[in-house]
Each structure stands twice: as structure tokens, then as C-alpha cells.
Amino acid sequence: MNEEFNATINAYFDESRIDNPESNFMVFGGLFVDRKYVNNIRKDITSILKEEEFHSEIKWVRTDKQREIVYKRIVDYFFDTPASKLAFNCIVVDKSRIQLEKFHDGDKELAFYKFVYQLLKKRIKPSHRYYLMFDFKPNKVRERLADLKGFLDSFIYVEHANTAQIKHLQGYDSKENVMLQVADLFTGAVGYAYNSTVLRSSKPKADLTKYIASKLNEESLKLRSSPSEKKFNIFAIDLNKRG
């Protein structure tokens, strides 16, 4: 293992609309933070919440008119911070095109983690070290996260000549981690945009997704990002390419 790393990254992940039967698209997204700046960014976000006298957990599903004001300040802070310090990446999957029996042994949980792997493969860079933190979710197979790390380690060995490293991979309670909460906010916003035609209308949620999109000079978050997009990248995977 090459012990010289260009950067160490903390990444915080959440999912949206995985099991929701009303939704056609599911999303898995992560907040990627240069580890040198984690404490400062956490303090900045906490300060915003204190200034707004906001004492609840940041959660997309609870977005309303009052929370929208606070959440927009979080969005402003995110986009005012350079992508080299703070970025968001997600994968969007059309659930109607997932062939569970053909590719995933009929296992929805296995399919989910395969898509997690697809996102991380695109995000991991050579000569970088990663601490990966997931919003805790119970799994039928207890070894899912350990298996995911094993596949990522194999990918790094083959594709990056073993120069990158997954130093840590574990689930955490989002109530105790504001970074996981921000990941929930952005992941939920993308999920809402992609499923807006089938969801009950919510003006605060619709306005917030448009606000985030405007930061990208887009009208909607229902988009496919260019691979070169570093700040807020939406990878809408094309499952047709799998046959």
C-alpha cells in the first residue's frame, strides 16, 4: 500500500425512496469533504442552525415553509464553499428497469449495494484515502458493508494500482451527525425532482429543489451531470446499457 496520499476524504451517505412504492426513481448520495476542513465545515453549519434557532434534525422529508428558510442557508453555504473542500455526488436509478432476477439474484438489498458500488467506483481517486460513513440502516445480510468494502478494495487494487485506500466504512445514526443530515437534504431533493410527477405536490420542497438547481444554472434537478461536474454531480445510470 502506498502511504503517500494527496488527500483524505470523509464521505457521508444517505438514500432516498429506496422502498417507497410511489416513487419510480431511487437515489443514493454522498457529501464528500476534505478531512482537513471537516471540523470547520461542521462548526459553520452548526452556527447557521444556531442563528436560525433551529434545534431539529435536518431531514428532507420534513421540509416545510419554515424549514425551507434554514435549508436555503445550508444550500448557500454549500455552494459558497469550493468543490475541493465540499462536494455532493449521487446516483439515480430507475427502479422499473432493475432486473432483480437476472442481475441481482432476486435480492433488492443486493441490488441497492451494487448501485452504491457503482457510485463509489466513479468517485474514488488514486492516491486518496477515504473514510465512508453511512446513515445506519438495518440489512438482511449483516455483512453488506464489509462486503462492499471488500469489492471497493479489489477495485482499488486493479484500477488504481492499490494507491487509494478505504480506511473506514461504517453506519452511523444521522441524529448525531449533521453532515449525514446535509447528505439527506441533497439526496432527498434529487429524489423529489426525479419523482415529482408522481408525488403529492409540496411547494416548499418544489421551491427548494428549484433553488438548488438555480445554483447549477439549471431549471430542475432532474438532470444528468457531465462527468466533469465537481460540485454537485448527479449520475443517472442508464440500465439499458446492461442489456
Rounded to whole angstroms, how far apart are CA atoms 69 and 115? 33
How many CB atoms neighbour CB 146 within 10 A? Answer: 11
CATH architecture classification, 7-242 = 2-Layer Sandwich (3.30)
User: At residue 2, does pLDDT exceed 50?
Assistant: no
User: Quick one: pLDDT at residue 55?
Assistant: 95
Across residues 161-165, what is the average pLDDT?
95
Q: Render pLDDT for 119-136 as a digit per residue (tens, 0 to 9).
A: 999 999 999 999 999 998
Strands, E assignment, 137-222: 165-172
Mean pLDDT, the chain, integer: 93
Domain ranges of the chain: 7-242
Contacts of residue 42, Cβ cutoff 8 Å, sequence gap at least 6: 178, 179
User: At residue 103, does pLDDT exceed 90?
Assistant: no
Q: What is the pTM of this model?
A: 0.94
User: At residue 73, does pLDDT exceed 60?
Assistant: yes
Q: Render pLDDT for 169-218 as a digit per residue (tens, 0 to 9).
A: 999 999 999 999 999 999 999 999 999 888 888 999 999 999 999 999 99
Across residues 146-174, what is the average pLDDT?
96
Rounded to whole angstroms, how far apart are CA atoms 76 and 74? 5
On the 0-12 / 13-18 / 19+ scale of CB atoms within 10 A, 243 is exposed
User: Quick one: pLDDT at residue 241?
Assistant: 63
